[in-house]
Amino acid sequence: MTDDTARIAGVEAVPDDSTLLFTVRDPDGEPTEALLTRLGDGTVVAYRNVCPHWTDVPLDRGEGALVRNGEVVCQKHGATFQLDTGYCDFGPCQGSTLGTLDVRVEDGAVLLAEEGYRFDHLGGHGADSNGTAGGRIDFTGS
């Protein structure tokens, strides 16, 4: 699988101190947001762009998720998720795990390897990707 429906981005575009937001289509054609990040050893991982605590809350609001000390932080309520496993080790959803999408690196490119899914575009899938999550107040007070 090396066609345009599989290639997400070049490896050099995937940050190791933030995330790269992209949209895929599931087997039914529905859009699903996901994020890529690069681990310290160069491994690229992909997670669905939702917090398990409030599934309408994106981790990456379109400008890269907050990443610190090897963890992605949900800015809505401060939960932290280990980048290498997606495991939540702090916050109201402690013990849960981020949903993954299979990706692989080939010839300097990150390819979508999730069965039945196809890459759609970089960025979020529309108005719901701005992180507003209704009228909820986030961790930062806004």
Rounded to the nearest angstrom, the gap between the alpha carbon of residue 86 and the centroid of all alpha carbons in its chain is: 10
Q: Which segment of 2-16, 46-60, 112-126 scores lowest on mean pLDDT?
A: 2-16
Q: How far apart are CA 8 and CA 19, in angstroms?
A: 13
**Each residue's pLDDT tens digit, 93-128:** 999 999 999 999 999 999 999 999 999 999 998 744
pLDDT tier at 55, thresholds 50, 70, 90? confident
**What is the maximum span of the chain, computed from C-alpha positions, in angstroms?**
44
pLDDT of 20 higher than 60: yes
